[in-house]
């Protein structure tokens, strides 16, 4: 299976379990590996036959802007479900990083793999 990659997608959202975190927007960074068969799109040079990464990025930006979560884990699960449901993605790997969340680390986060099956 081929993969459409989106790396280093930066989104602003309300995320965190501490009271102060619920009052500010914080940056999350996402890496996505979206499994699909690119051959039909490549054959006809047809965007409608593949995953439109610009549309996916915009949808994720809208989602992050409109929703708040306590845990990065919850954000990751909901984003994976959104991608599977709205874009018909059969399988994906998603990494979500929260830069600056721990002073001694560049970023903390989670990596999940989900499938429609």
Strand partners, 92: 34, 114
Query: Is residue 22 within 8 Å of 72, Cβ to Cβ?
Result: no
Cα distance between residue 9 and residue 103, in whole Å: 22
In the 8-state DSSP scheme, what is residue 55? Answer: H
Cα distance between residue 4 and residue 37, in whole Å: 9
Catalytic residues: 98
The DSSP element (H or E) to which 65 belongs, if any, is helix 53-66
């Amino acid at each position: 299976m081929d993969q459409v990659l989106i790396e280093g997608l930066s989104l602003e959202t309300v995320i965190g379990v501490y009271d102060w975190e619920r009052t500010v927007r914080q940056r999350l960074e996402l890496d996505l590996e979206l499994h699909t068969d690119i051959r039909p799109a490549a054959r006809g040079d047809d965007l409608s036959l593949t995953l439109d990464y610009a549309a996916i990025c915009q949808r994720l930006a809208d989602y992050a802007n409109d929703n708040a979560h306590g845990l990065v884990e919850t954000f990751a699960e909901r984003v994976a479900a959104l991608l599977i449901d709205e874009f018909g993605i059969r399988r994906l790997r998603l990494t979500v990083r929260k830069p600056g969340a721990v002073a001694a680390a560049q970023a903390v986060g989670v990596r999940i793999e989900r499938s429609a099956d």
